[in-house]
Amino acid sequence: MSVKNVKKLLRGQNIPYTAYKERMKKRIKEAEQIGKEQGQGKINKDYFYPRRLLRQIEKEYKNKELNTAPKEIEPVSQLPVQDTTTTASLPAPEIKTPPLPNTPQPKVRTAQQINPPVKTNFISGYSFASLQK
């Protein structure tokens, strides 16, 4: 992307997509080939690649702004508006929540080892438990 296009995008200007020419020429060649195979004769190139219409659309959208948010409207009077309803003046609804039932304490095994480690001889790879049998 060129520096010129990056600056336009940062300013909020539209950059129309123009990389369709080769693809449209390919469409025309494919249509001509299909026309020859079916014996249809010449094709209408404007149907497959409407250059004038695409250029017209490109010109129409060339310098349009990307910002589509409506502009803010200034208030007519500069007097501050006071909000008459406050949450303190409204009655708070009373919510009744039942107490939770008693729950049992979790069973935690902290210092127990279920399978004690087997002492092994790292040189031979045999465990001492298997050698004692």
Per-residue pLDDT for the chain (133 aa), expressed as one digit of tens each?
A: 788 888 887 887 777 777 678 888 898 899 899 888 888 888 888 888 888 888 888 888 777 777 766 677 776 766 666 666 666 667 778 888 888 888 888 887 766 556 666 666 566 555 555 555 4
What integer pLDDT is reported at residue 110 of this predicted model? Answer: 66
What integer pLDDT is reported at residue 81 of this predicted model? Answer: 65
What integer pLDDT is reported at residue 78 of this predicted model? Answer: 67
Distance CA 9, CA 65 (A): 9
What does pTM read for this prediction?
Answer: 0.39
CB 41 within 8 A of CB 52: no
Q: 104-127 burial by CB neighbour count: b if 16+ within 10 A, else e? A: eeeeeeeeeeeeeeeeeeeeeeee
What integer pLDDT is reported at residue 83 of this predicted model? Answer: 65
- Per the DSSP assignment, residues forming a β-bridge with 120 are 127
What integer pLDDT is reported at residue 88 of this predicted model? Answer: 61
Q: Where are the domains of the chain?
A: 3-61
